[in-house]
Amino acid sequence: MVDNTSAASAPAAGDTAPAAQAGPTTLWVERTGTRRYTGHSSRGAEVLIGSEGVPGVFTPGELLKIALAACSGMSSDFPLSRRLGDDYDATIRVSGAADRENEVYPQLDEVFELDLSELDAAARDRLLVTVQRAIDKVCTVGRTLKAGSKVTLSFDIDTVD
């Protein structure tokens, strides 16, 4: 019996992704050991994923937090580069403790580190309002987390008939 309601499937294990692809990027993870996976994209990117005690990997929760911080940074890139120049430095730190009883992150906190010392107080305030609006408008990860998202799961199972 096969139940596959997913629109896209991952390449077979060991397949390499093409350099360029028509259509949306395909994402998948492959198990590489006990509580260890490698995440892949059809664009050729890879990320190591595992438990907190495994060296050299990100936990799924850490990836969620990094995705939020990266999305905020990318969403604010245009207004910041217009005002500060293309070579501005930014660091977005993100944190949030897990509620292990309910297995959720009840709060995620981002801290955007920027050097705005060259701006007067009024220009700084205007820029920060513009940056906040840009993040609120186009950061898909943040918007999804704030709104909640329906998650579905299906199984593609090999069986002997």
The pLDDT of residue 111 is above 50: yes
Task: Taking residues 148-159, report their average pLDDT.
Answer: 95
pLDDT class for 161, splitting at 50, 70, 90?
Answer: confident
Confidence check: pLDDT of 6 > 60: no
pLDDT tens-digit series, residues 80-110: 999 999 999 999 999 999 999 999 999 999 9
Average pLDDT over residues 15-21: 49
Given this model, what pLDDT does residue 160 score? 86
Say what the pLDDT of residue 22 is. Answer: 73
Secondary structure, 3-state, the chain: CCCCCCCCCCCCCCCCCCCCCCCCCCEEEEEEECCEEEEEECCCCEEEEECCCCCCCECHHHHHHHHHHHHHHHHHHHHHHHHHCCCCCEEEEEECCCECCCCECCCCEEEEEECCCCCCHHHHHHHHHHHHHHHHHHCHHHHHHHHCCCCCCCCCCCCCC
